[in-house]
Amino acid sequence: MSQKGSKGSIQDLFGKLVRKQIFIPIAALFFLLLFNLIFDPGFFVITLGTNSAGDPVLSGNLITVINMGSELAILAIGMTFVTAASGGQDISVGAAIAIAGSTLLRVLCGTNTRPAVGELRTSILVAFIISCLVAMAFGAFNGMLVAIFKIQPMVATLILYTAGRSIAAWINNNELPIISDPEFGYFGGFIPGIPVPTPVFIAVACMIVAGLVLKFTNLGLYSQAVGINESSSRLNGLNPVFIKWLTFVILGLCVAVAALIKVSRLSSINYSVIAKDIEMDAILAVALGGNALSGGKFNLWASIVGAYVIQLLTTTLFKYEVPSDALPAYKAVVVIILVVFSAPTVREKIGNLKKKTVKREVA
Amino acid sequence: MSKKIRNMTDSNLLLAITVIVFVLMYVGAIIFQGKGFTKPQTFFNILNANAGLIILACAESLVMITGGIDISVGGMTALVSMSCAVYLDYHNGNVPVSMLIALLIGLAYGLVQGYLVAYLDIQPFIVSLAGMFFARGMTTIVNSDPFNVANESFVALKLARINVPGMGSVNKKGVYVNAYVEIGVIVALLVVILMFMMLRWTKLGRSFYAVGGNRQSALMLGINVKRTKFLSHLICSVLAGIGGYVYFLHVGSGAVTNGQGAEMNAIASSIIGGTMLTGGVGNIIGTLIGVLSLATIQNIVATAGLGEAWWTGITIAGMLCVFLVIQSVLMARKKKLMKK
Amino acid sequence: MIVKNHKPKKIIELIMLLLISGVVLCGCTGSAGNNKEGTDAKNIKREKSSASQPVTIGLSQIGSESDWRMASTESVKAAFSSGAGYNLIFDDAQQKQENQLKAIREFIDQGVDYIILDPIVETGWDSVLSEAKEAGIPVIVYDRRVDVADDSLYACWIGSDFYLEGKRTCMWLSDFFSDRGIDHNINIINIQGTMGATAQIGRSKAIEDAVYHSRNWRLLAQESGEYTTAKGKEVMKKLLAKYGENIDVVYVENDNMAYGVIDAIRESGYVTGADIDKGEILVVSFDATHNGLQLTLDGAIAVDTECNPLYGPRLAEMVEMMEAGEDIEKETYIEEDQFSAVGYIASVNVEDTEYPVTYLTSKIIDERAY
C-alpha cells in the first residue's frame, strides 16, 4: 500500500514536472550535456589561462556557451515580452542590432573611421545611451505599426528587417570603422583582472532587471492579459495599445545592449553579417522555452534557458568540427525533434500511451 | 466612393490598391526617367529576372491565405539550384532528371512540413524556420563553392529565348532588336494562371480561403481543416521546388547565396499584392503585381543613380510600409462603414 | 461570407485581369511603336551634341566587402564625376553575380554609352555580354577577369597580374631566407581567397609553383578564408590547433584575412614576426591596405604586396580613347608596389625583371590615398 502510494507520488511529481513549461528547455539542456558527457567528457574542462595582454581568462566550451549565448539570452527576454503581448514576433532584431551598433560606432568615431587610442569623440557610456535611444526609437516604430495600425508583428517588422542593414550602412556612410581603444573591447571580451567574460555579467544584469520588473510591476501580468484577450483586457481598464507598444520599446533596449556586446567583440562592424539570423534564434529560444508563439501566458526563464540550449547546441556542433556553414542543417534536425516532442498533440499521445501501459499494468 | 468601398470584398479592395499603385509607378518611371522604361524589353527583363520569385510568391500566397507562413522557400531555392547544379556538372546529368530532382525536393519538403504543421499542430513559422536552416545547411554540405553550370543542354535551355511578337526596340546602332522572354517566364505565368483558376473556381481553392478565414466555420462547413492545411503546404513546397528550378535556370549557377532573402521578398510581394498574413484574404493576380512592383521599384532606384546598396533596402521597406499603412487604414475604415 | 460573395467578386476579378493585361500590353505595344522614332531622334541628337552631352557610364561593382573594394569604388567614382563630363550610374551587387547580370541588363535598357564591370566570378557572362554587344555598348572589364568563349564580347580588360604579385612575394621570401641563411625545411600555410576568384587562382598558383620548384619549402595546408577577417580567423585558429609550432610561414591572400590570421595567432599564444627560428610565425599578405601597411610597419606582416585599387584614372583614360576612336590594347596591367619594414631586400627579380621593394615608413602610409 505505502509502496504503491510512494510510487504514485513519484509519478505525480514527475508528471507535474513534465507538465511544467520550463521542463522542456531544461530537459533539452540536460540531454545535450549528457550527450557531451558520454561522447567527450573533455567538453566540460575549464582552464584558467592568460590572454595576450597577460590577464587571467577562463576558457573552455562551457565558458564559450555562457559567453556567446549572452546576446541571445538578452534578446530572448525582450522577444518573450513581445510574443506574449502581441502574439507575434519581431523579425527585425538582427537588423536593429546592426543599426544600434552602427550608431554606437558613428557616435564614437565621428567621421574618422580609424581613431587612434584615446581619440574617441565621446565616452562609451554616452555613445551607448544614444544607441539605446535609437534602438528604442526603432522599437517604438515597430510597436506603433503593431499597436496602432494593427499590422501583424511579423509583417510590421518585415519593414525594418528589409531596411535595417541598409540604414546601418547609411549611418556610417558604408565605411567600416575600427576602434583600437582596448577599453571598448571590454564589453565583449574581458575586463583586465576578471577571468569571466564580460558579456556574462551583462546578461546576468539584464536578467536581474527583468526579474525585478516582473516582480515589482504588473508588466508581466498585463502583457499576458493583452495577449490572451485584447478586448477583455481593455474592458478591465488596461490599455492594450500602450502595453503592446511598450513591449517593443523594451525589446529595442535589449537590442541596444546586445549590439554593444556584438560590436565590442569585433571592435568593428560588418553591416550585412553582424547578428545575422539572430532573430530566428531568438524566436526559436522563445519557442523552445515552451511559450506559445500566438501570445498569452509566458515563462521568461524558460526562454532564457532556451537561448542557452541553442548556444550549447551550436558549441557542441562546432566541437565536432561541423563547418559553420553546414551548422544550420544539424540545428534544424535537433530543433524539429525538440519541437515535435514538445508539441501538445504529441505530448497528449505520449501521455495516452503511458496511461495505457499503466492500465495494462494494473490489469 | 465609400459606398463602393463597402461593396467591395477585402480581397478586391486590396488588389485595386496594388494595381493602381503599380500602374502609377510604371507610368511615373516612364515620364520621369523615360529612356529605358519605354522599351518593352525593360519590362520583360523584370519578368525574366523575377520569374522564379513570381512562383515562390504564389506558393507563399497560398500558405498565407490558408493562415500559415513558409519561410523555407528561399533556402529551398538554394538547395534545389545547388543539387541540380552538382548533378548536372559533376555527375554528367541530363536536364529532365534535374527537373525531377527539383520536384522531389519540393515534394519531400511539402510532405514533412505539411505533416508537422497540419497533423502535429506545430507553428508553421517554426517548422519552416527549421526547414530554412536545413536547406541552407544542406546546400553547403552538397557543395560549398559557387560555380556556373557548364552542362551543354542545360545552357542551351537557359539561353533559349522566346521572342515576343510585335515588340522590340531599336538599339544604338539603329538595328531593330526583338523583345524576348526566357522559358522561366512562361512557366511562371502558367503557374499564376493555374493557381488563379484553382483558387477561384475549385472547391479546394475555396476551402483554402475558408480555413484561413475562420477555422471554426470551415469545420462547420464540413471542410477537412487538417487535410486542407496539409495540402496548402504540400502545394507550396512543390511550387517552391519549381520556382527554385526556374530561378536556377535564370542564374545558371549553384551557390549557397542563391535565393538569399527570397522568402522575405516573396512574403513582401504577397503583402503588397493584398494577401493578409491573418489568412483568408489574398489574390494571385495581386501577388504577381506585387512581385512586379517590388522589381520595378528596385529598377527605378538603380537607374536613378542611387546605386549604393542601402537604397534598395530602404526603398523596398518604405514601399512596404506605405502599403501596409494604406491597407490597415482602409480596412479599419471599411470595418467602420460595415458597422454602420 | 467570402463564399457567399463569390459571384460579383468573380466578375470584378475578370475585369481586373483584363484591365491589367490590357494596360500592360497597350503600354508595351504603344511604346514599341513610338520608340523606333524616339530612339532614332535621340541618336541623331546625341551625335550632334556629343561634345556637350555627358557620357553615361554604367558601373557594376561587386560589393563593398573590404577596404580595398571601397577604395577602388571611390577612385572610379571620382574619375567619372559629373564635373568631368560624365554621368555615372553605380550599382553595388552585394556579392551576387545575379545582381550584376541584372544591373548590366538595366544599363543596356537605359542605353548607357559604356559599361564598366568588375566581375565577381569569371564564368557565366556570355549571354549578358552578347546582349550588350547587340545593343552596341562597349564593356570594359577591370580587376577580375571574365571567361567568355568569344573575347570580342568585351572591349578590353585592365587589372592586376596576380600571378606576378604572388611570384614577387615568393621571391621576396626566398631572398629573405637565403639572406638569413635559413636552409632547413620551411612549413607554409596558404590562406586562400574565395575559391575561383582571379586573385585566388593567381596567388595560389604562385605559391604552389614556388613550393614545387623549391627544395625545402613545404605546403602544410591550403584553405579558403573567403577574403574576410572573420573567416580568416576561424580557419587560422583551426590550423593552429592542428599544426601549432610547425608553422613557419602563413601566406595570406589578402589583408582583410591577414587581420584575422594575426588575431588568431596572437590569441592562440604565438608570436608574429620574421624570426622563424625563434618560433615566430612569418605572415605575408597582399593588397597593401591602410591597416595592412600599419601591420607591416609594426612587423606583424613581413611583406605586403600591393594590389592597386585606384583604377579610376586608367579607366577614364580608356573611355576617352574610345570616345576619340583610338585603338586600345585588349589587356593591360596596372602598376603595383611592394612594401616591407624588414629592410634586407631592396628589390626582387622575377623573370629577369627587377621589381623594387619599398622600405615602409609611417610617412608613406600617411601619404597614400587609401
pLDDT in tens, A321-354: 787 778 888 888 888 887 787 777 777 787 787 7
Mean pLDDT of C216-225: 92
A2 touches chain C (CB under 8 A): no
* Nearest chain A alpha carbon to C228: A270
Q: Distance between CA C348 and CA C358 in Å, rounded?
A: 11
Per-residue cell: C285? 599578405
Q: Which CATH superfamily is domain C162-308+336-367 in?
A: Response regulator (3.40.50.2300)
- Mark yes or no for CB contact B253/C124 under 8 Å: yes
B31 touches chain C (CB under 8 A): no
Q: Residue A362 has what pLDDT?
A: 63
Q: In which region does residue C62 sit, left (phi positive, over 0), alpha (psi from -120 to 50) or beta (all else)?
A: alpha
Does C7 have pLDDT greater than 50? no
What is the distance, to the nearest Å, from the Cα of residue C357 to the centroid of all Cα atoms in its chain? Answer: 23
Length of chain C: 370
Confidence of residue C322 (pLDDT cuts 50, 70, 90): very high
Confidence of residue C6 (pLDDT cuts 50, 70, 90): very low
**C194 CA to chain B: closest CA distance, Å?**
8
- Mark yes or no for CB contact C70/A175 under 8 Å: yes
3-state secondary structure (DSSP) of residue B178: strand
CATH of the domain at B122: 1.10.3470
Rg of chain A's alpha carbons, rounded to an integer?
Answer: 22
Task: Name residues whose C-beta falls within 8 Å of residue B296's C-beta, 6 or more positions apart in sequence.
Answer: B22, B25, B26, B29, B46
Q: Which residues of C touch A (CB under 8 A)?
A: 64, 67, 70, 94, 228, 230, 234, 266-267, 269, 290-291
List CB contacts (< 8 A) between C35 and chain B. Answer: 38-39, 169-170
How confident is the prediction for chain C on average, in pLDDT? 83
- Mark yes or no for CB contact C266/A272 under 8 Å: no
List CB contacts (< 8 A) between A284 and chain B. Answer: 126, 129
Q: Distance between CA A292 and CA B124 in Å, rounded?
A: 12
List CB contacts (< 8 A) between B250 and chain C. Answer: 98
List CB contacts (< 8 A) between A324 and chain C. Answer: 234
Per-residue cell: B330? 482602409
- Mark yes or no for CB contact C267/A52 under 8 Å: yes
B146 touches chain A (CB under 8 A): no
What is the distance, to the nearest Å, from the Cα of residue B205 to the centroid of all Cα atoms in its chain? Answer: 18
A52 touches chain C (CB under 8 A): yes
Parts of chain C belonging to CATH 3.40.50.2300: 48-154, 162-308+336-367
Q: Residue B4 has what pLDDT?
A: 57
List CB contacts (< 8 A) between A52 and chain C. Answer: 266-267, 269
**B148 CA to chain C: closest CA distance, Å?**
6
List CB contacts (< 8 A) between C267 and chain A. Answer: 51-52
pLDDT in tens, C111-135: 899 999 999 888 889 889 999 998 8
Which of B23, B32, B169, B308 to mutate to test binding with chain C, by most C CBs within 10 Å of its CB?
Answer: B169
Which has more confidence, C351 or A254? A254
Least confident of A221-230, B32-41, C183-192, C223-232: B32-41
Q: Distance between CA C250 and CA C191 in Å, rounded?
A: 7
Confidence of residue C207 (pLDDT cuts 50, 70, 90): very high
Give all domains of chain A, ordered by start, each with its CATH number: 60-321 (1.10.3470)
Point out the residues of chain B with pLDDT beneath 70.
Answer: 1-8, 34, 305-307, 309, 340
Q: Residue A259 has what pLDDT?
A: 96
Task: Name residues whose C-beta falls within 8 Å of residue B103's C-beta, 6 or more positions apart in sequence.
Answer: B238, B241, B242
Top-tier CATH class for C48-154: alpha beta
Length of chain A: 363
Q: Distance between CA A21 and CA A226 in Å, rounded?
A: 20
Per-residue cell: C104? 548590366
Q: Residue B2 has what pLDDT?
A: 53
List CB contacts (< 8 A) between A159 and chain B. Answer: 317, 320-321, 324
**B286: containing domain:** 2-339
Which of C23, C95, C110, C133 to mutate to test binding with chain B, by most B CBs within 10 Å of its CB?
Answer: C110
List CB contacts (< 8 A) between B49 and chain C. Answer: 98, 101-102, 105
pLDDT in tens, A38-85: 888 888 888 887 776 677 888 888 998 999 999 999 999 999 999 999
Residue B180: C-alpha distances to residues B35, B331, C124 (Å) = 18, 40, 19
Say how many domains are in chain B.
1
Per-residue cell: B91? 555527375
Rg of chain B's alpha carbons, rounded to an integer?
Answer: 21
What is the distance, to the nearest Å, from the Cα of residue C321 to the centroid of all Cα atoms in its chain? Answer: 24
Per-residue cell: B14? 486590396
Q: Distance between CA C44 and CA A186 in Å, rounded?
A: 66
pLDDT in tens, A102-153: 999 999 988 777 777 777 888 899 999 999 999 999 999 999 999 998 888 8
Q: Residue A267 has what pLDDT?
A: 82
- If one counts every other C-beta atom within 10 angstroms of the C-beta of residue C246, the result is 11
Place of cell 551587387: C93
Nearest-CA neighbor of C337 among C298, C299, C292? C292
Q: What DSSP string runs through C298-362?
A: HTSEEEEEE-----HHHHHHHHHHHHTT----SEEE----EEESSTT-SEEEETTEEEE-EEP-H
Does A19 have pLDDT greater than 80? no
Nearest-CA neighbor of A11 among A363, A362, A340? A362
> Is the separation of the CB atoms in C361 and C58 below 8 Å?
no
For helices B183-201 and B284-303, the axis angle rounded to 10 degrees is 140
B126 touches chain A (CB under 8 A): yes
Cα C46-C47-C51 angle, rounded to 5 deg: 85
Rg of chain C's alpha carbons, rounded to an integer?
Answer: 26
CA dihedral B323, B326, B331, B336 (to 10 degrees): 170
Mean pLDDT of A180-203: 89
ipTM score above 0.85? no
Touching A: B residues 284-323, CB under 8 Å: 308-314, 316-318, 320-321
Place of cell 574542462: A45
3-state secondary structure (DSSP) of residue C184: coil
Q: Distance between CA C60 and CA C94 in Å, rounded?
A: 10
3-state secondary structure (DSSP) of residue A104: helix
Q: Distance between CA A230 and CA A224 in Å, rounded?
A: 10
Residue A196: C-alpha distances to residues A187, A232, A242, B123, B137 (Å) = 12, 47, 39, 38, 32
Residue C369: C-alpha distances to residues C61, C68, C70, C72, C309 (Å) = 20, 11, 12, 11, 10
Place of cell 549611418: A171
